[in-house]
Structure 1
Amino acid sequence: MILTQTPYRMSFFGGGTDYPNYYAQNGGQVLSTTFNKYCYISCRKLPPFFEHKHRIVYSLVEDIIRISDIKHPAVRAILSEFETEHGLEIHHDGDLPARAGLGSSSSFVVGLIHALRAMNGQISSKKFLADEALRIEQDVLAETVGSQDQIAAAYGGFNNIIFNTDKSYVVRPVIAKKKRLSDLNQNLMLFFTGLTRFASEIAKHQVNKTAENNSSLHLMSEQVDEALSILASSTQSLDDFGELLDDAWQLKKGLSDKISSSIVNEIYEAARSNGALGGKLLGAGGGGFILLYAKPEMQNKIKEALHQLIHIPFKFESSGSTISIYQPE
C-alpha cells in the first residue's frame, strides 16, 4: 500500500494573476503558504477476487470494471493517463472540507499522481508533480483553474510563485526571519463559513472579465511585492500585512459579483468590528474558509463574535506532497 500526504494552501496576495489567460500576457505572481492540514490518498493493488476491477472511495464509493466508467473526473483522467493493468483500490480522506478555497482539488490530483507513480516504483520530483497536475487539470480536464494550487501542493512551504509570459514559473521561498513568520502565523485566524461551492464556476465568471479587470489584477500583483517587503523588514509593523490583506480583499471583491455575498460580508464586518485588521475569503470566493489577521489579544473577542463558525488552528508547513507509507506489493 502507498499513502501520500499532500498539504492544503492559503493564498495571501496575487490570486487571479495565476490564470493563464492573464499571465501569458502580463506575467503574474502570488504569495502563499501551505499549512498543516492535508489530503490523504491511499492506493493498493486490488486482488482479483471481486466482480469489480477498481474501487474508488471518496464521498462516494465506486466499484467499477472499466476506467472510463469512473464518475470522479480527476480519478478517471489520471488513471487513463497513467495506464495500469492491475486493479486498484483508492481511498481519499481530508482534514478539511472540499470546495472550500484551500486548493483541495489540486492537492487531491497531486497526491494521486504521487501515489500511482510510487506504486510503479517511480520517484517524482516536486516540479514533475506540479507540472503533471497542471496538465491534468488545465489540459486534460479543461477546467477553469489557476496555476498556483498545484505548485503549492507539490512544493509546500511559504513561497512567492512567479508566472512568466511563456507559461513557465519560478518558486521562490520567502526570505524572512523565522520569528517574523512565526509571529505572522500567530496573528492569523482561519474560520469555516459553512458555505461550499464549485470554484470553477466562479473562476469562469472572473476569467471572462479579465480584460475589464486588468488594472485591478496589476495592482494585486504589486501587492505581492509590498507584502514581501513587509515580511523582510525588521522595522515595519507586521500589522501592515493585515491591513494589506484588507486592501487585497476589497480589490478581489471587485473582480466579480460572485466572489462575496451578504453572508460573507456580515462575517467579515463582524470580525473587523471586533479587532481584525484585515482578511479575505480563500480561493476563488463564494464561501469556504475565511482568513483573518488579528493580534493575539483580540482573537478571543473575534471567536466570540464568530461563535457560529468553526475556528481552525493551524501552523505553516514546508513539506509539500510526501509519501507517508511505502509498502509495495
Structure 2
Amino acid sequence: MIITRTPFRVSLFGGGTDYPAWYLENGGAVVGTTIDKYCYLSLRKLPPFFEHKHRIVYSKIENVCAPSEIQHPAVRAVMQEHPSDHGIEVHHFSDLPARSGLGSSSAFTVGLINAMRALEGKITSATQLGIEAIRIEQEIIKEKVGSQDQVWAAHGGTNYIEFNHNGRIDVSKLIMRPGNHDILNNHILLFFTGFTRIAETIAVKKIENVKKKASQLNTLHQMAVEAKSILQSKEPQFENIGLMLDDAWQLKRELANGVSNPQIDEIYNAGKAAGALGGKLLGAGGGGFMMFFAPPAAHNKIKAALSNLIHVNCNIGSEGSKVVSYEHYE
C-alpha cells in the first residue's frame, strides 16, 4: 500500500502568464504558496480474484479490465504511461472540494504519478514530478491548463516561479526575513463561495484571448516580479501587496468572460467593505475559493460580513507531494 499527500495552492500574482501559449513567446512568472490542505491518494496492487483488473475510487467507482476503459482522464493517462502486469486499486481523498480554484486537478495528477512511480520502486524529484504532470495534462489529456499548478503541487513552498521562452521552468523559494513569512500567512483569508466550476471552460477563453490581452498579461507578469521584490525586502510593505492584489483582480476580470459574475462581485465587494485590502478568486475563475488579503485586526469583521460562506483556516508554505506511507510487498 502506498499513500501520497499532495498540497493545494494559493496563487497570488501572475496567473494567466503560465499558459504555454503566452510564456513561450513572452515569458511569465507567478508568486504564490501551497497550503496545508491536501489531496491524498492510496494505491495498491489489486489481488487477481475479481472480474475486473483495476478499481478506481473517487467521486465515482470504476471497475475495469484495462486502463483504456478508465473514464477518469488523469488516471487513464497515468496508468497507460506506466503499464503494469498486475491490477491496481486507487482511492482518492481530499481536504477540500474539487474544481475550487486551488489546483486540485493537478495535485491529483502529481500525487498519482508519485504513487505509480513509488509502486515501481522509483524515487521521483519534485522537478521530475512537475514536468511529467505538465506533459500528461497538456500533451496526453490535451487539457487547456497552465503550468503553475503542477509545479506548486510537486515542489510545495512559498515561491517565485518563472516560465521561460524556451519552456524551462525555474522555481525560487521566497527568502523572507524571520517573522515575515508568518505575517504573510496571517494576512490571508480563504472562503468557499459555495459553487464550483470547470476551469478548462474559462481557460479556453483566456487562451483564445492571449494576443488581445497582451497589455493585461504583461502587467500581471510585472506584478509578480514586484511582489517578489516586496516580500523579500527588509521591511515588506504588506499593505502594498493587498492593494496590488486588488489591481490584479480587476485585470484578471478582463481576461475572459466568466472569470467573475454578480455573485462573486458581491462577495468580493463585501470583503473589501469589511476591511480587506484586496483579494481574488482563486484559479481560472467562475467559482471556488475567494482569497482576501487583510490585516489580522480586520479578520473578524470580514468573517462576520461573509458569515454565509465557509471560512477555511489554513497555513501557507506546506511541502510538496510526498509518499507518506510505503508498505512494500510482492
TM-score range with shorter-chain normalisation?
Answer: over 0.9
Deviation at 1:181, TM superposition (A): 1.3
Q: How does 1:58-97 map to 2 (within 5 A)?
A: 58-97=58-97
Hey, what does 2:125 align to over in structure 1? 125
Deviation at 1:233, TM superposition (A): 2.4
- Determine the C-alpha separation between the residues in 1 that align with 2:4 and 2:204: 31
Q: Are positions 1:152 and 2:152 aligned together?
A: yes
Deviation at 1:236, TM superposition (A): 4.5
- Determine the C-alpha separation between the residues in 2 that align with 1:173 and 1:137: 25
- Determine the C-alpha separation between the residues in 2 that align with 1:170 and 1:229: 16
- Determine the C-alpha separation between the residues in 1 that align with 2:106 and 2:318: 17
Give % identity: 51
Count of paired positions: 329
Deviation at 1:235, TM superposition (A): 3.5
Q: Deviations over 1:224-262 (max 9, x none)?
A: 121112212234421111111101101100111210000
- Determine the C-alpha separation between the residues in 1 that align with 2:188 and 2:300: 12
TM-score where L is the length of structure 2: 0.98
Structure 2 spans left out of the alignment, 5+ residues: none
- Determine the C-alpha separation between the residues in 1 that align with 2:19 and 2:25: 10
Question: Judging changes above 3 Å, is the alpha-carbon distance between structure 1 residues 236 and 36 closer, same or farther for their aligned structure 2 residues?
Answer: closer
Structure 1 spans left out of the alignment, 5+ residues: none
Is contact 2:29-2:225 (8 Å) kept?
A: no
Deviation at 1:77, TM superposition (A): 0.7
Q: Are positions 1:105 and 2:83 aligned together?
A: no
Is contact 2:11-2:33 (8 Å) kept?
A: yes
Q: Deviations over 1:208-228 (max 9, x none)?
A: 000000011000000012111
The list of structure 1 runs, each at least 4 consecutive aligned residues, that deviate by more than 4 angstroms after superposition, is: none
The DSSP-based 3-state class of the residue aligned with 2:121 is coil
Q: How does 1:298-313 map to 2 (within 5 A)?
A: 298-313=298-313
Hey, what does 1:162 align to over in structure 2? 162
Q: How does 1:1-329 map to 2 (within 5 A)?
A: 1-329=1-329
- Determine the C-alpha separation between the residues in 1 that align with 2:275 and 2:318: 29
1:68 partner amino acid: S
Deviation at 1:328, TM superposition (A): 1.5
2:311 partner amino acid: H
Deviation at 1:178, TM superposition (A): 3.3
2:138 partner amino acid: Q
Deviation at 1:195, TM superposition (A): 1.2
1:234 partner amino acid: K
Q: Deviations over 1:188-218 (max 9, x none)?
A: 1000001101101100001100000001100
2:187 partner amino acid: N
- Determine the C-alpha separation between the residues in 2 that align with 1:208 and 1:35: 31
Is contact 2:16-2:146 (8 Å) kept?
A: yes
- Determine the C-alpha separation between the residues in 1 that align with 2:133 and 2:102: 16
2:121 partner amino acid: G
The DSSP-based 3-state class of the residue aligned with 2:179 is helix
- Determine the C-alpha separation between the residues in 2 that align with 1:101 and 1:319: 19
Q: Deviations over 1:122-148 (max 9, x none)?
A: 110111111110100000001100000
Question: Judging changes above 3 Å, is the alpha-carbon distance between structure 1 residues 235 and 123 closer, same or farther for their aligned structure 2 residues?
Answer: closer
- Determine the C-alpha separation between the residues in 2 that align with 1:233 and 1:171: 19
- Determine the C-alpha separation between the residues in 2 that align with 1:130 and 1:11: 16
1:98 partner amino acid: A
1:138 partner amino acid: Q
